[in-house]
Amino acid sequence: MTRIDRRFAELRARGRKGLVPFITAGDPLPEATVDIMHALVEGGADLIELGVPYSDPVADGPTIQHASERAIAHDVGIEAILGWVRAFRERDTDTPVVLMGYLNPIEIHGHARFAAEAVAAGVDGVLVVDVPVEEADTLHPLIEAGLEQIFLVAPTTTDARLAAIRARARGFIYYVSFAGITGADRLDPKAVRARIAHIRAGGDIPVAVGFGVRDAATAVAVGELADAVIIGSALVAKLAEAKDAAAAATIARNTLAPIRAALDAMLPT
């Protein structure tokens, strides 16, 4: 059983909802990333999505675009990110880490080299936004090396594509709660509920919901439906205010803790 599968199995056994924070690697300061990752776990994270900065992040809104720009200005690339994952693993061997980003940085690094180094560093999965399921074989070297391939499903995903995604997806399916970019405020719990039921009808892979989760209230609204909730832009925006690594870690911990508490309050007594 992989680290991601084990984590979702633990959550289900305890009737607990997963909390998945997204941060951009190297933002707001490169030296803060490892401390932020540990602080996220202390705040209640079950899995960490680590964004790989990219100059043309087409699926991301302004908040995450600016985070990528800040990280790129600090020359943050694949080698630095894998180094931070290795450093994180020195103290945490349990929390799954998924790299989320775009194909170009992987191609530049080299698929086989990236796969080997990512697995060795302790990365568990990849979500490559601009590799659709029809082109999933592009990432075969990564999957062969042992990385889980996470796929996005949107409200507009057809049943035929959903079936293809179910056949290939490992770890969990990332459901985008609305058609749009990250950071928008358009969460519709009723629509999300119907869509998750449809996704689950074809299998039992966990479904994590992102886009539109910004605080404890929205996390609970989504947590009533999904196996896990993903918080990205709201967290990244708060981290951007940090002036040093210690402040960033404190913001990460303090942002997640009330969301974790609200999700845990959903547990049956």
Active site residue 60: yes
Q: Is 94 assigned a catalytic role?
A: no
Catalytic residue among 35, 49, 117, 124: 49
Which residue out of 27, 35, 60, 148 is catalytically annotated?
A: 60
**What is the CA 127 to chain-centroid distance, rounded?**
8
Residues with a known catalytic role: 49, 60
